[in-house]
Structure 1
Amino acid sequence: MPVSRRTFLGGGLAAAAVAVTGTPLLAGCASDKKNSAAVNAAVKLPTYQKYGAIKPDLPGNDAVLDAFLKYPANPVKAITDKPGDGQPISFITNIPGAIPPAADNNQFWQAVNERLGSELQISMASNDEYPDKLATRIAGGDLPDIINIPPTTVQIPGLLKAKAMDLTEQLSGDGVLKYPFLANIPTVYWKGCVFNGAIYGVPVPRGMSRTTLPLYRADLLAAKGIKDPAPKNFEEFLALAQEMTAAKENKWAWTKPPLPYIRQMIGLPNQWKEEGGKFTSFYEAEGSSEALEAGRKMVEAGVVNPDTFSAKASARKQWFNGGIASFDIDSFVAWNQYYADNTAGDAFSVNMLDVPGFDGGQGKPWMGSALNNVTAFSKDSKHSVETLLKIANWMAAPFGTEEYLFRKYGLEGRHYTLNGTDPTPTKTGVVETGIGLQYISDSALALYWAGKPDVPQRQHAIQEKIADRLVYDASYGLYSETLSKDGARLTKQMTDLENEIMSGNKPVSDWAPAVKNWLSSGGEKIRGELQQAFTATSGK
């Protein structure tokens, strides 16, 4: 049967739960019958009630995000009462950027505390260090009031059952309407918070904002006389990359081989495909070797920066921003981040390629993962569940509200200046506001960039182009214990081989036996668990 949006978004976190360390974070965390697919499917999810006070310039739909060409004038102040209870509230999270100044030297953080009516005590770590920090806190029984649970956390059902508050009574059905901005999160995202027959957290939604396609430096392509590139097949795509490569000038088309994009050209599954209750991984799907051969061909052609296989992600982003590379495969979130990190001046311009078929026609873009994380509340918290939910509700106030403007941009004058109605961050603003509030809760991403209406226009346009062709991961909403415990190890083996093949160190013929080994080492067991969960819910 076709994979619906409901199936796709139905518990993205559970399906993506894979091991980071290879060992359980908590003794006894293994899931049991209380986490069966049938029991979880019976949970009445929170009612969706869209917040209608703000009208987008370019409306979205179930897949396409709302776009705004400027920040609305006179933003709505949507919350009048302070959500806190006067006592300190602790939170642990990852931080994608540099660790900001501490609260006693951070006027934004101080202003957040004042608005909340409680001191927010945040324990932060970098993206790379966070899994280990979280594991240490769990093992030590030292959990804060609010916990950012990433998709890579091992055996999530057991962890949440042992350590987190059950929020079903407060959020199920119309109960969520007491928290209007949590109700503004579409119901389907809440499926990713259901474990053990209960709602155990608040979703931080992503979906389309995480859809990943080639971003390109439109200004660099325009300088070569290339406007609105639209390759019709792989050969034209490769020719475009060759045109944008000048190795003697230290310029390459690509930051890294765009293997996921090639797989979308060929029409491979988005992680897992389901047909008649039978699941197929993209590793084993027909065309997987062809995709690797095409990636190897790009590296051999010299259109990929030769340092790509040893470079960190941060270095590849610097290549793109600095003009050393003109293409990078990444998401709509990264598109905005590139503008935030822009060092090329006003000429800097980014756009995104559509997906052609490998041999012509149209390709099949992959929908991004449903959730960034689930936010759980510690069972041992001394705060009431209502207080913690009011904090999350405040954090989820959507684009166009006064709360959103403050939460994302800070205090006018210190953290941003207004250009018309658009907030432009100051250097101090960039440094002080990055304290991770978006990982407590958040509204769906709005397409917007201050002072540059062409950015959301381009983003909205490409989303409308691909919306009807999106391919969803059939495993979303279906928990696999083997995937949770062994997924990271199994995936790393395949990723390492992909890189060896594309770099020319191993032949493409090594892929087929590696897939057989992947299946016998756990892939077949993952398939069986997903199929069993799918059957138990009859595809719901």
Structure 2
Amino acid sequence: MRLSRRTFLGGGLAAAAVAVTGTPLLSGCAADKKNQAAANLAVKLPTYLRFTGVKPDLPGTDVVLDGFLKYPANPLRAITEKPGDGRPISFMTNIPGAIPPASDSNQFWQALNERLGSELQISMASNDEYPNKLATRVAGGDLPDIINLPPTTPQIPALLKAKCLDLTGQLSGDAVKKYPFLANIPAEYWKGCIFNGGIYGVPVPRGMSRTTLPLYREDLLLAKGIKDPAPKNFEDFLDLAKELTAPKQNRWAWTKPPISYLRQMFGIANQWKEAGGKFTSFYEAEENADALEGCRKMVAAGVINPDSFSAQASQRKQWFNGGVAAFDIDSFVAWNQYYADNTAGDAFSVNMLDVPGFNGGQGKPWMGAALNNITAFRKDSKHSVETLLKVANWMAAPFGTEEYLFRKYGVQGRHYALQGTDPVPTKTGVVETGIGLQYIADSTLALYSAGKPDVPRKQHTIQQKLASRLVYDASYGLYSETVSKDGPRLVKVMTDLENQIMQGKKPVSDWAPAVKDWLSQGGEKMRGELQQAFSDAAGR
């Protein structure tokens, strides 16, 4: 899901931060903000030092991810000393799947603690519950040593300044080379960690891996005689959906209306576009009316699961895995996760659609959000900043290393079985390893699926097709107080209207006046703040 479509942390966290800092966040004057922008501009980003210890089978570019057909034999042990200091280290995170067994009954977690040289105490919550849990911990002044902060955390600069460590001295420029796997994270991702004139976190990179387009059950389409579907326009796309819908057999083409996909068919902006220093929101594009009408048409044609508007994301994923739906709009990360959760047996196969123009030609896919989260360290942690950074560096060891193999797959024999050199997860492995380590730090995603070389081949192929047409969010790395404070509320209003229009409960003509309301209630202010931030940051 794109950055502004992720679960937002509501106003409760902003209020909690006020309670912690004692003042409304970011209540400074324009001069202060300009000085802040200048201070941010002066920060030297960490030097990028690419890891070259493992050669990919399918080489990537600065956009396309590296692909691997199998896990390297005899993986490199990249870190010899334990990063911990012998004392417990606390961490707080969301968990995308089911909450795993606690450490006293989780052999992966126990083995992790031994390797780290410190007990990692993890406080977890589901994706849906995490915003409230984080707000409560902030308000209570009860933050862990290591904190998962989503990019949408309201008024994040002041929260970081009040409660978290400034890491500039340890990470800026060549200083990062002390932590080689943090240096292996490209500079672009660090831009989202610059606040208050310093580096206040470690990025958990996503970018291309979070690019979101229709995933489809290749096996279900093949059963219908459909190989390599490539709709040329919206009408082809709708005909394909109708062919895959059979309500009497409890089968629908789609888990939900793919409104973002239709927007990409029209070449609508990815959140915000910038031209000549002027910013425009994707909401403002005239083509939104036609995109909404297209989705309304899909709902009326019965190709969307009728329970889609009330279902949670987890239920929609179950529909896709169970064959109740043939299409789901999601990312490369989800593509791999579907194989991990597969209940359909060996025939199960997933692929991704390219995006055509609505009326023909090529559409413009949206580049995924750069960051999943930033990882911050509590200012008054009893651990040294070096210890916390060593732990993050260990967590960022890239694909092909022994550390990555353990972190992602666990212990051979219990959590995975070797198939050749590939670690194929066991059911126990899937359950026990899902403790959220990837949200402390991570390398950029490698295209790989244990024992399934066709998966990275397909992923690499579609990424090569998309790379030259990707549309980026122009607001990335820019801070707007209004986006932070009021964005979640305003997004909810627009999303609710989208859903009502797509269900036929409100006319498409309601969209244009709603956009005017959005602009007057905060959109124009967001635009102005982003334009000013862009101007201030010019040349970074």
Structure 1 and Structure 2 fold alike (TM over 0.5) = yes
* CA distance in structure 1 between the partners assigned to 2:285 and 2:160 by the alignment: 34
Q: Which whole-Å deviations, capped at 9, do the CAs of 1:459-512 have from their partners, x for residues lacking one?
A: 000000000000000111110000000101000000000000000000000001
1:13: how far off?
A: 8.0
* CA distance in structure 1 between the partners assigned to 2:149 and 2:349 by the alignment: 35
Stretch deviating more after TM superposition (310-319 or 354-363) = 310-319
Stretch deviating more after TM superposition (342-351 or 247-256) = 247-256
* CA distance in structure 2 between the partners assigned to 1:536 and 1:13 by the alignment: 23
Pairing 1:84-95 to 2, within 5 Å after superposition: 84-95=84-95
Paired residues of 1:108 and 1:432 also in contact (CA < 8 A): yes
1:14: how far off?
A: 11
Counterpart pick for 1:26 among 9, 13, 17: 17
Residue of structure 2 in register with 1:124 after alignment: 124
Residue of structure 2 in register with 1:8 after alignment: none
Paired residues of 1:24 and 1:154 also in contact (CA < 8 A): no
AA aligned to 2:16 is L
1:16: how far off?
A: 8.9
Paired residues of 1:89 and 1:120 also in contact (CA < 8 A): yes
Identity of aligned residues (%): 78
Q: Which whole-Å deviations, capped at 9, do the CAs of 1:31-90 have from their partners, x for residues lacking one?
A: 343673332122100000001110110011111111100001110000000111111111
AA aligned to 2:231 is P
Residue of structure 1 in register with 2:464 after alignment: 464
1:312: how far off?
A: 1.2
**Structure 1 residue 49 corresponds to structure 2 residue 26:** no
Q: How many residues align?
A: 529
Q: Which whole-Å deviations, capped at 9, do the CAs of 1:98-155 have from their partners, x for residues lacking one?
A: 1111111111111111111111111111111111111111111111111111123111
* CA distance in structure 1 between the partners assigned to 2:39 and 2:508 by the alignment: 43
AA aligned to 1:453 is P
AA aligned to 1:212 is T
Residue of structure 2 in register with 1:77 after alignment: 77
Residue of structure 2 in register with 1:198 after alignment: 198
AA aligned to 2:15 is P
TM-score (norm 1): 0.96
Structure 2 unaligned residues grouped into runs of 5+ = none
Paired residues of 2:417 and 2:424 also in contact (CA < 8 A): yes
* CA distance in structure 2 between the partners assigned to 1:508 and 1:465 by the alignment: 33
**Structure 1 residue 38 corresponds to structure 2 residue 31:** no
AA aligned to 1:334 is A
Q: Which whole-Å deviations, capped at 9, do the CAs of 1:371-430 have from their partners, x for residues lacking one?
A: 000100101101110010000000000000000000111111111110100001111111
Q: Which whole-Å deviations, capped at 9, do the CAs of 1:156-193 have from their partners, x for residues lacking one?
A: 00000000000000000000000000000001101111
Paired residues of 1:19 and 1:487 also in contact (CA < 8 A): no
* CA distance in structure 2 between the partners assigned to 1:103 and 1:53 by the alignment: 33
Greater relative contact order structure (CA < 8 Å, 6+ sep):
1
User: Against the structure 1 CA distance between its residues 64 and 29, is the aligned structure 2 distance closer, same or farther, given a 3 Å change threshold?
Assistant: farther
1:335: how far off?
A: 0.5
Secondary structure, in 3 states, of the residue corresponding to 1:25?
A: helix
RMSD: 1.5
Paired residues of 2:9 and 2:132 also in contact (CA < 8 A): no
**Structure 1 residue 327 corresponds to structure 2 residue 345:** no
Paired residues of 1:410 and 1:416 also in contact (CA < 8 A): yes
* CA distance in structure 2 between the partners assigned to 1:507 and 1:36 by the alignment: 44
**Structure 1 residue 207 corresponds to structure 2 residue 202:** no
* CA distance in structure 1 between the partners assigned to 2:127 and 2:8 by the alignment: 16
* CA distance in structure 2 between the partners assigned to 1:18 and 1:179 by the alignment: 31
Residue of structure 2 in register with 1:4 after alignment: none
Structure 1 unaligned residues grouped into runs of 5+ = 1-11
Pairing 1:513-524 to 2, within 5 Å after superposition: 513-524=513-524
Q: Which whole-Å deviations, capped at 9, do the CAs of 1:201-239 have from their partners, x for residues lacking one?
A: 100000001000000000010011100000111111111
Paired residues of 2:215 and 2:329 also in contact (CA < 8 A): yes
Residue of structure 2 in register with 1:6 after alignment: none
User: Against the structure 1 CA distance between its residues 13 and 85, is the aligned structure 2 distance closer, same or farther, given a 3 Å change threshold?
Assistant: farther
